[in-house]
């Protein structure tokens, strides 16, 4: 679509130039609309002001390391598009202004558009460096050559592909079963609570064996969020080529919402603590253990993942299952083979006024020398979840003498920078995530 629009714009521009030359030849209509006449009206200063404000605003969000709010989720991974947009807009303004006049303004626009362009290009231009760093961190943690020879599975060939960035990454075939109810609360704090999951399954696989499992937990500050689109469903679809993927719900705390305008089902809101949310994840694991044959799920090969609040819950639940101290909460039949948190919000629920056991609120307390392998996604410019939190969790593995943890750091990436599934950040992490899962599958 992007390149089709570019070609269409070229055709229209060529057509307009032909018509303009014809009009210039006819003196009687020479005064008909001319781009340069825009400068005689108020439109030019308004457009230039908007150009300046928008460009500076996006640059400010991209390079600023202090709070930008949820807007940061829509900037860094799309910066390549913004770079070309502002470069094109700069050329348009230079076309509007007459040569030989407005010299200072023309130079200012040239410098600004080039500046916005190069700053917008920074995440893309630095991609070779963080790809190499990711490769190094992956090797140090897992000591495996990245050679994927499983002919039954499809893997990404390269860590970053420019065509994929523009055209997207195909999901492959999958089967989706939505809104499977796995829990309905009858008493206490859970009275009236209904929790469901979406199931993504491989199709066309001629095999009688079970599939490894990927459990995904959505984020949202423990007060909002849901399975499906909110939890970046493209990830579920992609991994459903080779895994049974469960996109699950849990009870949300009824305090002030992390984002007020996001609608939430009232049947999912209540005075739920982090302990309750981990318990809800545990209820799902018991449902999974009970219905494993029905879902063709291999309970001996389970991976658990989530972003932000979901990343914290994924770590709390995954480490709790492995720790063995919480048999009453989580299904002991399940073997966690790997943890895959995205910018995990460890320890931050207390700032939202949501309490719980210390080891659930901050899963760093559950890490030991036998903890499951872990691979972490973290942006350097995440102003909602401090990158130091992921670094501390990574260091906890090292302090316990457990080397099986890799921290993949994405420069200029903000919170939710995996939103664009085929963006440069998510492509790199996806490349190593599927190799991580294949190693421990």
Per residue in 186-218, pLDDT tens? 999 999 999 999 999 998 656 667 999 999 999
Q: So what's the pLDDT on residue 31?
A: 47
pLDDT tens, position by position, 243-301:
999 999 999 999 887 777 788 888 899 999 999 999 999 999 999 999 999 999 999 99
How many other β-carbons are positioned within 10 Å of the β-carbon of residue 220? 20
Residue 96, pLDDT above cutoff 60: yes
- What's the pLDDT score for residue 28? 46
Report, as an integer, the average pLDDT of 65-82: 83
In Å, the largest CA–CA distance within the chain is 89
Question: Is residue 374 within 8 Å of residue 403, measured between CB atoms?
Answer: no
Does the pLDDT of residue 180 top 70, yes or no?
Answer: yes
Return the CATH fold of 127-440.
Rossmann fold (3.40.50)
pLDDT per residue over 281-297, tens digit each? Answer: 999 999 999 999 999 99
* Average pLDDT of the segment spanning 89-101: 77
pLDDT of amino acid 30: 46
Selection from 279, 275, 197 nearest residue 236 by Cα: 197
d(C-alpha 339, C-alpha 368), whole Å: 14
pLDDT number for residue 329? 87
pLDDT band at 43 (very low <50, low <70, confident <90, very high): low
CA–CA separation, 425 and 417 (whole Å) = 7
- The single residue listed with the structure tokens 């459990």 is 215
Q: Per-residue pLDDT averaged across 128-155, rounded?
A: 82
pLDDT surpasses 70 at 149? no
Task: Determine the average pLDDT of the residues in 298-306.
Answer: 97
Between CA 137 and CA 241, with CA 151 as vertex, the angle to 5 degrees is: 75
Mean pLDDT of the chain: 87
Residue 115 has pLDDT above 50, yes or no: yes
Quote the tokens at residue 350.
């207390």
Alpha-carbon distance of 382 to 124, in angstroms, equals: 17
CA distance 127 to 424: 7
Residues 48-72, mean pLDDT to the nearest whole number: 78
Which residue ranges make up each domain of the chain?
A: 34-125, 127-440
């Amino acid at each position: 679509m992007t390149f089709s629009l570019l070609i269409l714009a070229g055709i229209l521009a060529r057509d307009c130039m032909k018509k303009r030359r014809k009009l210039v030849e006819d003196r009687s209509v020479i005064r008909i609309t001319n781009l340069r006449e825009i400068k005689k009206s108020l439109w030019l200063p308004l457009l230039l002001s908007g150009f300046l404000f928008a460009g500076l605003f996006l640059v400010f969000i991209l390079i600023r390391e202090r709070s930008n709010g949820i807007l940061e989720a829509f900037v860094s991974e799309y910066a390549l598009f913004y770079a070309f947009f502002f470069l094109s807009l700069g050329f348009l303004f230079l076309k509007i202004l007459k040569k030989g006049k407005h010299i200072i303004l023309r130079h200012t626009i040239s410098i600004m558009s080039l500046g916005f362009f190069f700053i917008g290009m920074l995440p893309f231009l630095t991609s070779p460096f963080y790809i190499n760093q990711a490769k190094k961190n992956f090797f140090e943690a897992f000591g495996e050559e990245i050679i994927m020879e499983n002919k039954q599975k499809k893997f990404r060939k390269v860590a970053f592909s420019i065509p994929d960035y523009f055209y997207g990454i195909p999901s492959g075939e999958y089967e989706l079963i939505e809104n499977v109810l796995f829990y309905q609360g009858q008493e206490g704090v859970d009275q009236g609570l209904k929790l469901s999951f979406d199931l993504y399954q491989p199709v066309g696989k001629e095999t009688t064996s079970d599939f490894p499992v990927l459990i995904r937990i959505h984020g949202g500050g423990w007060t909002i969020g849901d399975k499906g689109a909110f939890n970046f469903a493209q990830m579920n679809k992609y991994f459903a080529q080779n895994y049974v993927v469960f996109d699950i719900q849990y009870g949300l705390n009824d305090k002030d919402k992390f984002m007020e305008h996001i609608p939430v089902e009232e049947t999912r809101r209540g005075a739920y603590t982090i302990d309750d949310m981990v318990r809800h994840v545990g209820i799902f694991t018991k449902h999974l253990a009970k219905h494993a044959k029905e879902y063709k799920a291999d309970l001996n090969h389970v991976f658990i993942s989530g972003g932000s609040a979901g990343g914290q819950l994924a770590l709390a639940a995954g480490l709790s299952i492995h720790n063995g101290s919480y048999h009453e909460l989580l299904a002991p039949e399940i073997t966690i083979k790997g943890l895959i948190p995205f910018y995990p919000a460890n320890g931050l629920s207390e700032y939202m006024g949501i309490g719980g056991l210390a080891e659930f609120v901050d899963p760093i307390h559950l890490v030991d020398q036998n903890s499951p392998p872990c691979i972490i996604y973290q942006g350097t410019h995440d102003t909602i979840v401090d990158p130091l939190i992921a670094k501390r969790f990574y260091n906890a593995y090292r302090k316990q003498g457990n080397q099986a943890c890799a921290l993949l750091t994405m420069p200029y990436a903000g919170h939710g920078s995996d939103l664009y599934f085929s963006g440069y950040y998510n492509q790199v992490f996806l490349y190593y995530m599927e190799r991580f899962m294949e190693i421990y599958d």
